[in-house]
Amino acid sequence: MAVSLILVSYLLLLMGGRQVLALDKITARQLEPGTAYSGIVGDLDSYSFSLSDSRALLIEVSQANTDVKLLLFNVSDAAASMQVFAASIPARNWLPEQVLVSPEACTRCILQVVPVNNADKSGSYTLTAKALSPDLHRAEIDFSVQMTRAAMLWLKVDEGAAQFQRVFELYLKAIKLADNLPEADAGMITAKLRSLYLASQVAHWLGNYQVQQEFVTRVVGLSPNELDPYRLNATFDLGVLAYENKQFEQSTHFFAKARELAEGQNHVLMQAKILSRLGLIAGGEGRQAQAGKYFEQAYQMFIASGDWRSSIEGLINLGWSNLHHGSLGLALNYYNQARSFAAKAELPSFEVQALIGIGSSYGRMGDIDQAVTFIDQALDHSVKFSYVFFHGRALQAKGQILLNAGMFELARDVFEEAYLTYGKVNALADQINVRYFLGKVHNSLGSYAKAEDYYQEVLTYDLQTGNHPDIGSGYNRLAETALEQENYARALVYQEQALNYLADTDDDHVKGRLYSQSAIIYFFNGLTDESDSYFRRARELQQNVKDYPGLITTGYRMAIAEAAQGNKQQAVQELDKVIEYIQYQQKHVSRGDLRRSFLAQQQKIVGLQIGLMRDTRAEAAATLALSEMFRSRTLNEWLRDLSEAKAVPPELAKRRAALQQTLQSQVISYHQLADADSREQIIRETRKTAYELQELEAAFHSGKGGDKPSEIKSADIRQIQQGLDANSLILYFDTNAGESYLWALAKDDIKLYSLPSNQALSEQVLSVLLLVRDSPGSTRGSRRKQQKQAIKQLSDTLFLGKDIPWQQYDNLVIVPDGALNYLPLSILSLPGNGMLLENKQVSYMPSLGVLAQLLSREVPSREENKILLLANPAMLQAGKGNAQFARLRAGFETGELPYTEKEANSIMAIAGNRVSLLSRKNASKSQLQAQVLADYQIIHFATHGLASTDEPALAGLVLSNALSDDNLLLAPEIINLDINAELVVLSGCETALGRLIDGEGLQGLSRVFFEAGTRRVVASLWSVQDDATAKLMGAFYQFLLKDKKAPGEALRLAKLEVKNYQRKNRQKPWQDPFYWAGFVLQGPGGAWFD
């Protein structure tokens, strides 16, 4: 709620600086006390007057539909005029305001009336003045002085230099001083009303709504009659308070009373403002059509009055009404008009509201790109102008967009920030709404108990307020949680409650999604007729309002129902429509992080369609093509655009460097400084920084995925087959909740096989990993037996009973999915062929599309196998004193890596002068960045790696801190390196790990090196013993460079050499897979040289 400011001359003189301005004194009108003056604000009228020690001047300005600013000049100097103060007197409540001018400010004065902004130029004003004598008007002057102190401090609040609490305390003193005014003076009542009302406004901004209600209630009681404007405004405020607490019946009562008062006072603008509020109540009750009528009526009255502010607010209300009625095109039209007019009128608060509305409209349409763009603008504006409440609204809208895009953890972070922001202004009802969205986040993350706790908390509040749409939404969400847990009977109970409470709503967007969920719940409860009816109604509504995300969900549910009834061909057709909707929507999700999350949500649809296509006799190639359509799309698109890199503008490069520095501090804190309890907060901060970095990359279209994505197309399966040689076989996995799949793709054949569910496969993979990724210790005998059993079980699950002629193929290309990304398949065995390591070269690819991209890229002509080797970085330890500060100053601190020197020496002995070595203090970030990396065919990092399954941006490499504390090379920095290498080797621990995203695979260091431009990466899936790693790397380069073996074959032979290594005492210390199996080759396994 807006409020007026009273600005007083002598306080401004004391608290502000003086400014000398030129002023036309000749045109100023003489100001006489007791005379009324009027004019147009845009005419910049001036008034001259003189003051003496025995007289002050109380100036009153009435402003029916505009905001004015009063400039006071001291013109005692004949040569120049000095500005003494600038007073802004907002007219939002259409109440007259007063300014006290004392002789301490000026003796010869000019007062100028100017517009606050462009919206006010055509407005009118009326100005009067009253002379006050200290001897005769002491009490009135004391009261006015106190009011001016409060108002002056309020101005400082707007400037960010004071707090509202102090303003409130000064108004309380003014209220007491009003009691000292003469009882016979009619101004006493007005002063009391004025001070109480202004104090109520400050209480509102402080979030003291109970105090505000007490004060406005007192105003109503003190008001002398129904023609008093303070009674009208106070009654209106009581309605607003009730509305903000969702007490719609009580709110309607107060607005009805305020409407009577406004009509009696012939206050047309207030009548229109009340109609707007009645529209908000109707909308909150789900009566969007009625809300639209109220808003349209109010808007026409605002336009007729010439009140620009209210007219812009009317446009925003019309946008809101159409947004919730499902008329998204009209909503955008109104919001865009409001934004345009607000910008021209220099009204940033309305511009923020319009931006939120535009972003929300695009969000409902599924256009995530546009939604994010406009909501981010709203966030920037709300911060710039310190609009706390609107900042909360923009954060809430941002959280909804991220939630719909599948970025659940970041959405949770943003919602929690919105909750805290609303708390700063005690916006309880809005905080409750945020709790509802936090429930949706936890439901999406599978934390059903926590989701239900949130929903029950919100429902309890909504039942107290009695608002049917909110209650219905609460039951709808509880039904969704029960549905996700397959508790169909309980879901039905909740859903029927939701249908009952939402029966009268005319929000077609809400009803479409309500009916969709009702349909699938009725189906699972055996009520197929009701299910069919609701499915038809849901689809019709969602098509009408262009709710593409809703259409995707509804189509998926319809396919489930058709398939369960044996109508598999019909189910296939339903999912074909769904994929068309996905194709449409994905064009509006171009940012890499948002796009990955959005496409990950579609994997369950793909899995269902593959099974249906197989059951309906579709060719194996067609099912593989479908799976491939949604596999590693963002990496595929990035590689496609890799050659189109553009120069980064200096200002954006500076911003990028600052964000990367922030990220480095967060990574240090996460890995070295934080205890377990505080790590979650650091992860949240890192997510936010990583998101801002992605936003920055998108802003300047670095050439790597900058353009809008094209239609999703699968790789040309036949073309890939033609590129295979006769002894190569691609094993392509697709894991799903119900059933998983394996395709065996050879040069002239393709076959599809069924596998167990993702859950079953994950359990078997984990059983193997627990027995191979940790050091054997003293339990080698029993461990080896358990290993063999677990490996055999998984091997049989994946390969037994498959009519694949394994003996024909020496080269296996694995496209893993799900938990299989964490497992080196070379430790598994094939039916009748023994362990893969013994006779099969194995390499890994994220997708067939990425394979095609990597193989099709031109190889530049360069010096043969020029190698950059970074090894054994010197690590200085933190100094004495404050340990935490010292560690931060030292950069990221780790122990020394003496075995990497042995590793480096082995490589140099093989490669000779082809190696450029960065070692010890030269193994630093600055030295690495000084290299022309594109000149090297092989880049080898023998240093610590950082991996994170929580946040990909926490991944990186640790370099030397001897020359600089900036010693972390983080994932976002690696992406922007200019690498054109055939091979990057990461011999550090767990460098192949990262966060697993459905359809995209592991998001770790291997991925970012592909994005930087390399074609192959050798990395490790777990921590490996240093001496074994040094031995493996030496053997790898021996086979690669001396024996001219292909990278995949060189790695296989190196693993065998380590596995079979025998000491002089004939012991084989490294037979266990722990020592050699963790290193994997990602990328083409074939050679790039003859």
Distances (CA, A) of 572 to 498, 569, 591, 623: 31, 5, 30, 12
CA atoms of 309 and 119, how far apart (whole Å): 7
CA atoms of 999 and 971, how far apart (whole Å): 20
CA atoms of 1069 and 315, how far apart (whole Å): 77
- Contact in structure between 109 and 48 (CB atoms under 8 Å): yes
The 10 Å Cβ neighbour count of residue 376 is 17
Query: Is residue 550 scored above 80 in pLDDT?
Result: yes
CA atoms of 357 and 70, how far apart (whole Å): 34
The 10 Å Cβ neighbour count of residue 456 is 13
The token duo for 513 is 């999604």
What does the pLDDT average to over 204-221? 92
φ, ψ at 149 (rounded to 5°): -60, -45
165: number of CA atoms within 13 Å, CB side? 1
**Which residue from 738, 834, 728 is spatially nearest to 788, judged by alpha carbons?**
834
The pLDDT score that the predictor gives to residue 149 is: 77
Paired residues of 694 in beta bridges: none
Query: Is residue 8 scored above 50 in pLDDT?
Result: no
114 three-state secondary structure:
strand
Dmax (CA) of the chain: 115
The pLDDT score that the predictor gives to residue 21 is: 42
What does the pLDDT average to over 1059-1081? 92
- Contact in structure between 118 and 346 (CB atoms under 8 Å): yes
The model's pLDDT over 342-355, given as tens digits with 9 standing for 90+, comes to 998 888 889 999 99
CA atoms of 86 and 112, how far apart (whole Å): 9
Paired residues of 97 in beta bridges: 61
CA atoms of 433 and 913, how far apart (whole Å): 66
CA atoms of 407 and 399, how far apart (whole Å): 9
State the SS3 of 856-924.
HCCCCCCCCCCEEEEEEECCCCCCCCCHHHHHHHCCCCCCCCHHHHHHHHHHHHHHHHHEEEEEECCCC
The pLDDT score that the predictor gives to residue 490 is: 97
CA atoms of 59 and 306, how far apart (whole Å): 25
The model's pLDDT over 249-286, given as tens digits with 9 standing for 90+, comes to 999 999 999 999 999 999 998 999 999 999 999 998 88
CA torsion through residues 693, 697, 700, 706, sign: negative
Could you tell me the pLDDT band of residue 646, with boundaries at 50, 70 and 90? low
The residue type of 878 is A
The pLDDT score that the predictor gives to residue 186 is: 67
- Contact in structure between 342 and 312 (CB atoms under 8 Å): yes
Query: Is residue 7 scored above 60 in pLDDT?
Result: no
What does the pLDDT average to over 399-414? 94
Query: Does residue 131 come out as left (phi exceeding 0), alpha (psi in the -120 to 50 range) or beta?
Result: beta
The pLDDT score that the predictor gives to residue 883 is: 39
Using CA atoms in the order 716, 722, 726, 729, what is the torsion angle rounded to 10 degrees? -10
Query: Is residue 23 scored above 60 in pLDDT?
Result: no
Distances (CA, A) of 986 to 151, 872, 1078: 65, 13, 12
The pLDDT score that the predictor gives to residue 438 is: 97
**Which residue from 1058, 1046, 982, 979 is spatially nearest to 1020, judged by alpha carbons?**
1058
Could you tell me the pLDDT band of residue 643, with boundaries at 50, 70 and 90? low
CA atoms of 72 and 62, how far apart (whole Å): 18
What does the pLDDT average to over 796-824? 94
Task: List CB contacts of 901: < 8 A, sequence separation 6 or more.
Answer: 871, 872, 919
φ, ψ at 812 (rounded to 5°): -110, 125
The model's pLDDT over 938-993, given as tens digits with 9 standing for 90+, comes to 999 999 888 877 788 888 898 988 777 778 888 888 988 989 999 999 998 888 88
The pLDDT score that the predictor gives to residue 711 is: 64
CA atoms of 791 and 410, how far apart (whole Å): 37
**Which residue from 596, 602, 599, 622 is spatially nearest to 611, judged by alpha carbons?**
622
DSSP string for 742-779: EEEEETTEEEEEEE--HHHHHHHHHHHHHHHSS--TT-
CA angle 638, 643, 644 (to 5 degrees): 85
Task: List CB contacts of 282: < 8 A, sequence separation 6 or more.
Answer: 288, 290, 291, 294
State the SS3 of 616-645.
CCCCHHHHHHHHHHCCCHHHHHHHHCHHHC
CA atoms of 815 and 798, how far apart (whole Å): 13
Query: Exposed, middle or buried by CB within 10 Å (0-12, 13-18, 19+), for 276?
Result: buried
The model's pLDDT over 135-151, given as tens digits with 9 standing for 90+, comes to 888 888 889 888 877 77
Domains of the chain and any CATH numbers = 1-136 (2.60.120.380), 717-851 (3.30.420), 865-1082 (3.40.50)
Query: Is residue 206 scored above 70 in pLDDT?
Result: yes
State the SS3 of 834-859.
EEHHHHCEEEECCCHHHHHHHHHCCC
What does the pLDDT average to over 404-425? 94
The pLDDT score that the predictor gives to residue 234 is: 96
The pLDDT score that the predictor gives to residue 889 is: 29
DSSP string for 575-626: HHHHHHHHHHHHTT--SHHHHHHHHHTTHHHHHHHHHHHHHTT--HHHHHHH
- The helix or strand, by DSSP H or E, that contains position 291, with its residue range, turns out to be helix 288-305
pTM confidence score: 0.85
The model's pLDDT over 848-897, given as tens digits with 9 standing for 90+, comes to 999 988 888 766 666 677 999 999 998 876 443 333 323 332 344 456 67
The model's pLDDT over 29-81, given as tens digits with 9 standing for 90+, comes to 999 999 999 999 888 999 999 998 888 898 888 877 777 788 889 888 765 67
- Contact in structure between 1 and 237 (CB atoms under 8 Å): yes
CA angle 926, 929, 932 (to 5 degrees): 140
The model's pLDDT over 902-937, given as tens digits with 9 standing for 90+, comes to 889 999 999 988 999 999 999 999 999 999 999 999
The pLDDT score that the predictor gives to residue 988 is: 86
- Contact in structure between 667 and 673 (CB atoms under 8 Å): no
The model's pLDDT over 478-513, given as tens digits with 9 standing for 90+, comes to 999 999 999 999 999 999 999 999 998 888 999 999
The pLDDT score that the predictor gives to residue 802 is: 93
The pLDDT score that the predictor gives to residue 452 is: 96
